[in-house]
Chains A and B, each alone.
Chain A
Amino acid sequence: MQREYDVIVAGAGIVGTAIAYGLAGYDKRVLMLDGADRDYRAAKANFGLVWVQGKGYRYPEYHRLSAAAADAWPEFAAGLEAETGISLDYQTGSGLKFCLSDDELSARAKMLDAWEAETPELAPSVRILDRSELARRYPTMRLGPDVVGASLGEQDGQANPLRLLAALQAAFQRRGGMVRNGHPVTSIKPLAGGGFEVKTSEQTARAERVVIAAGLGSVALGRMIGLDVPLHPERGQILVTERLAPVLPVPASGLRQTGEGTVMIGVTQEDVGYDLSTTSAAAVRMTRKALRILPELGKARLVRQWSCLRVMTPDGYPVYASSQMYPGAEIATCHSGVTLASFHAGPYAQALASGRHLQTLNAFPLERFNVSKNQSPQHTTADALH
């Protein structure tokens, strides 16, 4: 039966918009329903890293997915910029993880060796730099005396997540997609004969297929299509400085300078439920670490501290699931919406549009959280983050 839309995407954050943008490029009639402005939006506190190094340690399929997404980013970014005229401030080729003791550096080297060994088919992309190599490579960077070295990921980079979201939304609409803001989905009803009826407080729409990419809101929406996704919020706090002349030429884990010149200082990983408070304890810890890396940041003014909630599965890795009960209903959720944006807009959207199954997704089933059937050890969030 013909429906008014081919696909309805529930959720207009970076994940939902990337999928919708991709689908609209395959001539699909797509309606994207965005929630309320005050919703928990992970993108509000996104750090803007396109990151691979260390990701998916002991879960090599996630390493492979992240590496493929990072490889696809330059073309993805160029296409999006050409379509919208919005610069994403995308930069790639190196990302650093600073180490502040010999023990930390050797542990980092050992972990990354083991991490690379898990994916022998991928070209090596990380190297360990000692302090003198760092100084030689980045002569303008005034490192604190505690920095003994860093791991450098050649696939790592950064982008402006706010511009990414704006560009994806603009390009989606330019491709003919329809977006409704302030339309949180209230019900998803499978229709007899296939397809779905999706309701918001304002509107009812029908589509052949539904994709749920609503961040933490995906828990409630998933149940409507028989998918019980165990997501929990993890609070991340960020500090930001005033706009400064260049101090950090490449992005680092928890520390990056944006194209506008502000320096973002992170991060926290807190299990505090749905609480967006900021804490002075976190501010002290984050600034202290940032000052050990770049002492001259002490002369900069901090202008803001805020927090947001990451969307975490129990093991920190993505879930891509199709409803068995209601074919045509999908759910996509992940923590790394920026890194994986090229994947969501590319292969993921292409597979959805063509109706073909994507082998890549087999590694991220929802069933892995069914503990009665699967007793494999739980990974920590830190593994997933890098």
Chain B
Amino acid sequence: MFRKISPPSTPPLTLSIDGKSVTAERGETVASVMMRQADPSCRHTPVHGSSRAPFCMMGVCFDCLAIVDGASSTQTCLVPVAEGMCVERQLGRPKVAS
């Protein structure tokens, strides 16, 4: 649905989304990477389990929550990507108990 307008100006870095390696540009947010995927969703809601993708991209709507390096309910639109980052879609209520 979304694609980058211009090619990356710096060497890409790699992160994983649900175990699958994807490339990203230094300086962009996790949410923007997720929106470029074939499945742009980042979470399923806790009660009805419906899909949500990033929406406001500025930290206010809380729709872009996902699990980033083990931290659930992270606002992915506020987190810049990093090499080796491990992102998981958050399906339903997050588990805090191990």
Contact = CB atoms under 8 A, between A and B. Distances in A.
Chain B binding surface SS class: loop
A245 B97 contact: yes
B47 A245 contact: no
A261 B93 contact: yes
B93 to A, nearest CB: 5
Interface stretch (A75-83, A294-302, A309-317): A294-302
Interface string B55-73: 0000000000000000111
Contact of A247 (B46, B72, B92, B97): B97
A217 to B, nearest CB: 35
Interface string B62-98: 0000000001110000000000000000001111111
Contacts of A243: 46-47, 93
Interface string A139-166: 0101000000000000000000000000
Interface of A: 140, 142, 242-247, 260-261, 296-301
A242 B97 contact: no
Contacts of B94: 242, 244-245, 299-300
Chain A binding surface SS class: loop
A245 B95 contact: yes
A142 B93 contact: no
Nearest to B72: A299
B65 to A, nearest CB: 9
Residue of A142, A299, A300 contacting most chain B CB atoms (<10 Å) = A299
Contact of B73 (A242, A246, A298): A242
Contacts of B97: 140, 142, 245-247, 296
A247 B47 contact: no
A112 B96 CA distance: 33
Nearest to A298: B96
A242 B96 CA distance: 11
B94 to A, nearest CB: 6
Nearest to A142: B97
A245 B92 contact: yes
Contacts of B95: 244-245
Given A243-B46, A301-B73, 16 more contacts: A140-B97, A142-B97, A242-B94, A243-B93, A245-B93, A245-B96, A246-B97, A247-B96, A260-B46, A260-B47, A261-B46, A296-B96, A298-B96, A299-B71, A300-B72, A300-B96
Contacts of B98: 142, 296
Contacts of B46: 242-243, 260-261
A297 B71 CA distance: 12
A57 B30 CA distance: 55
Residue of A142, A245, A261 contacting most chain B CB atoms (<10 Å) = A245
Contacts of B93: 243-245, 261
Contacts of A244: 93-96
A142 to B, nearest CB: 5
Nearest to A261: B93
Nearest to B74: A301
A201 B47 CA distance: 41
23 contacts: A140-B97, A142-B97, A142-B98, A242-B46, A242-B73, A243-B47, A244-B93, A244-B95, A244-B96, A245-B93, A245-B95, A245-B96, A296-B96, A296-B98, A297-B96, A298-B96, A299-B71, A299-B72, A299-B94, A300-B72, A300-B73, A300-B96, A301-B73
